[in-house]
Chains A and B, each alone.
Chain A
Amino acid sequence: MTERSDVELMLAFRAGDDAAFSVLVERHQDSVMSLAYRLLGNRPDAEDLAQEVFLRVYRARRRWRPEAKFTTWLYRVAVNACLNEVRGRKTRALHGAAPLREAGWEDGAAPAAGGGSGDGPADRLAREELHGRVRAAVDALPERQRLALLLNKFHGLGYEELAGSLELSVPAVKSLLTRARENVRAALEPYLAAARLEGPARRGTA
């Protein structure tokens, strides 16, 4: 049995096949969930947001038209849901109804799988400190910069796809990503410089 492509599944779903929708959701749910989690920083809110994204996909089935990459469209739906959520939070925070971010990141939790193991408590402490700074730096970005950066870094979207997902021109995306990177780099500069002086902990490929 050959695996059906996203577009084939979406066509089947548009024609009324809900099972095709389930396959699509299962294929992309972790990616959407991770985007939401990195954006919002806590699991319950991220789960609600991921659910909202796929609900929007469901409702938009009649409006969907096949395009080069299904994920460009999926991320467009996700971006709109994310922007809506972040703006809703700001409004609610303004009215004192809810904090902008629920008590910061729920963690202490380990970073992405593969996070350093087998090093001492001092290293761990330094790493946790750096992780905190990274989260703060990313949280401080305007929402579109944050989304552009996350989609580029973790979902592999290049300029062209980012433009499709953020509904911006390629030059606009370039400048958005450039500003996002420079903001993060500026915020992290002191910590990264210190880390470099203390010697490379675990340098990847490039």
Chain B
Amino acid sequence: MNRDTLHALFDGELPPDEAARARDALRADPDAEAELRALEAAHEALDALPAAAAPPGLAARVLARARRRARLVRLAAPTAAAAAALLLTLLLRPGAPGGAAGEGAREAPEYFWEGDVDTYGSLALRDLAAEVLEELEAS
């Protein structure tokens, strides 16, 4: 019996007729039978990994955090929009450092978005920026 059939049988994901055929084949194939037993034993052994109950007040804590965050995003959104507009104005101004089509114009925002996301801080910053954008889109 092939490995895919054996695992699908184990998972109960074979259509009934195929499952019946596979069980017949299993009776004639001690190796496959032993393999199935071993899979069952391993699956059962996973019961050693205990469950854990969520801490009390989880929902309230999440809501509090989410609301703080939403306030921050709402506050940041107009500021971010204004800052972006100002930045654009400055960069597009003739004679600005780097010039309108200069390297600086393209690099500054890129760095902001694609910067080093290894550290927690910048990852969080990127998340926040994404949310600010979403808020601007939604409003």
Q: A-side interface residues toward B, CB under 8 Å?
A: 18, 21-22, 25-26, 29-30, 32-34, 36-38, 43, 46-47, 50-51, 54-55, 58-59, 62, 88, 91, 95, 107, 109-113, 115, 127, 130-131, 134-135, 138, 149-150, 152-154, 158-159, 174, 177-178, 181, 184-185, 188-189, 191-192, 195-196, 203-204, 206
Contact = CB atoms under 8 A, between A and B. Distances in A.
Contacts of A192: 38, 41-42, 45
Contacts of B46: 134, 138, 149, 153-154, 184
B58 A51 contact: yes
A122 B59 CA distance: 42
Nearest to A57: B62
Contacts of A59: 66, 69, 131
Contacts of A112: 47-51
B59 A25 contact: yes
Interface in B20-79: 38-55, 58-63, 65-66, 69
A62 B43 CA distance: 38
B118 interface: yes
Interface of B: 3-4, 7-8, 10-13, 38-55, 58-63, 65-66, 69, 118, 120, 123, 131, 134, 138
A166 B49 CA distance: 21
Contacts of B42: 181, 184-185, 188, 192
Given A134-B46, A135-B48, 9 more contacts: A29-B54, A30-B53, A30-B54, A37-B51, A51-B65, A58-B62, A154-B49, A185-B42, A192-B45
Contact of A174 (B7, B54, B60, B123): B7
A43 to B, nearest CB: 6
Listed from nearest, the 8 A-B pairs whose CB atoms lie closest are: A29-B54, A37-B52, A25-B59, A131-B48, A185-B42, A33-B54, A34-B51, A134-B48
A62 B51 contact: no
A18 B10 CA distance: 42
Given A54-B58, A59-B66, A158-B11, A111 B47 contact: yes
A154 B51 contact: yes
A32 B13 CA distance: 25
B8, B47, B131 interface centre (most CB from chain A within 10 Å): B47
A47 B49 contact: no
B59 A34 contact: no
Contacts of A134: 45-46, 48-49
A113 B116 CA distance: 44
B12 to A, nearest CB: 8
B121 to A, nearest CB: 12
17 contacts: A21-B59, A33-B58, A38-B51, A43-B52, A46-B52, A50-B54, A51-B61, A54-B62, A55-B66, A59-B131, A112-B48, A153-B43, A153-B46, A158-B13, A159-B11, A174-B8, A192-B41
Contacts of A203: 44
Contacts of B138: 62
A50 B52 CA distance: 11
